[in-house]
């Protein structure tokens, strides 16, 4: 939110942060929740932190693990901060193209352009700029959703919807993983056939099969490690099919009513203090 990179939040930036987090748009709320669970905003150290049992005691045997994870989390953010500061010095803070600069890594862009990414409205191009989410971060995201609903009255339909949608998103990630595997296997077979043809060999000869073809990035032939992932479009489209979840994130709270009640309580308190002061003064005058 520090658009001018001065290390402080001015009133305009604070108002923008409140507007982003208190938006009444259900889609914007979900997109913000999704973005906040992407790295480096949610670091690996936080995901791997010690779990807790039902009674709240830590399962970890040594408190040093906790401090080590905190140090890793801080160091990961500190490694990104110099790049953000350098980028702020080189570029105009009002330049909106900064938010979508392809020259920056996702770590830098996520820290520097969270506001622009979340505030973008219903544009497929803007959604495409949001990175995919891997499985560990998705699990943390879904735990957050469970925690949000734990504060609500127990409703079997709601928790059934959460479990169903979570399972569906896991299946979508598995489908994408299988598609990635099939695509890579097809590409590798074509590369192997082309290499064998250029060498004057048959594709099934030992000399051509002994060597593994490079991957798409040109790395030496190694076992593929495809990543499970979902996109923000898949997340939004799937979550919005659950009526209880959609109603929860579309619920609006009237701030004006709360502010009016707060003002009323303060006014009544000030009046009561004033009455008490006048009463004490009156009693003092009678005594003299």
Contact status, residue 208 vs residue 195, Cβ threshold 8 Å:
yes
Please classify residue 254 by burial: count the beta carbons closer than 10 Å to its beta carbon, then call 0-12 exposed, 13-18 middle and 19+ buried. Answer: exposed
The per-residue pLDDT for 280 is: 60
Sign, CA torsion 221/227/233/238: positive
Is 286 strand, coil or helix? helix
The per-residue pLDDT for 11 is: 87
Residue 88: pLDDT over 80? no
The per-residue pLDDT for 86 is: 53
Cβ contacts of 105 within 8 Å, gap of 6 or more: 83
Give residue-wise pLDDT tens across range 205-220.
444 344 444 444 344 4
Cβ contacts of 56 within 8 Å, gap of 6 or more: none
Question: What dihedral do alpha carbons 274, 277, 283, 288 form, nearest 10°?
Answer: -130
Token representation of residue 279: 């009463």
Domain boundaries, the chain: 187-230
Contact status, residue 1 vs residue 115, Cβ threshold 8 Å:
yes
Give residue-wise pLDDT tens across range 18-52.
877 777 788 888 988 998 888 877 877 787 764 55
């Amino acid at each position: 939110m520090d658009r001018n990179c001065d290390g402080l939040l001015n009133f305009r930036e604070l108002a923008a942060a409140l507007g982003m987090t208190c938006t009444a748009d259900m889609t914007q709320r979900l997109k913000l929740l999704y973005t906040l669970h992407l790295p480096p905003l949610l670091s690996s150290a936080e995901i791997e932190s010690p779990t807790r049992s039902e009674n709240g005691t830590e399962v970890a045997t040594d408190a040093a693990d906790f401090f080590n994870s905190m140090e890793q989390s801080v160091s990961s953010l500190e490694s990104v901060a110099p790049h953000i500061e350098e980028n702020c010095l080189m570029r105009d803070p009002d330049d909106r193209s900064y938010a979508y600069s392809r020259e920056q890594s996702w770590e830098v862009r996520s820290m520097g352009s969270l506001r622009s990414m979340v505030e973008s409205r219903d544009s497929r191009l803007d959604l495409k700029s949001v990175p995919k989410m891997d499985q560990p971060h998705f699990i943390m995201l879904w735990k957050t959703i469970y925690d949000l609903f734990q504060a609500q009255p127990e409703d079997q339909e709601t928790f059934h919807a959460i479990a169903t949608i979570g399972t569906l998103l896991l299946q979508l990630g598995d489908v994408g993983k299988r598609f990635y595997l099939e695509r890579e296997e097809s590409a590798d077979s074509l590369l192997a056939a082309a290499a064998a043809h250029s060498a004057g060999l048959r594709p099934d000869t030992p000399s051509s099969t002994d060597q593994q073809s490079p991957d798409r990035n040109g790395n030496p032939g190694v076992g593929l490690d495809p990543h499970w992932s979902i996109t923000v479009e898949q997340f939004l489209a799937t979550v919005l099919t659950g009526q209880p979840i959609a109603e929860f994130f579309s619920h609006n709270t009237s701030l004006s009513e709360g502010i009016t009640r707060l003002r009323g309580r303060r006014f009544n308190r000030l009046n009561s203090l004033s009455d008490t002061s006048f009463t004490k003064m009156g009693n003092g005058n009678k005594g003299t």
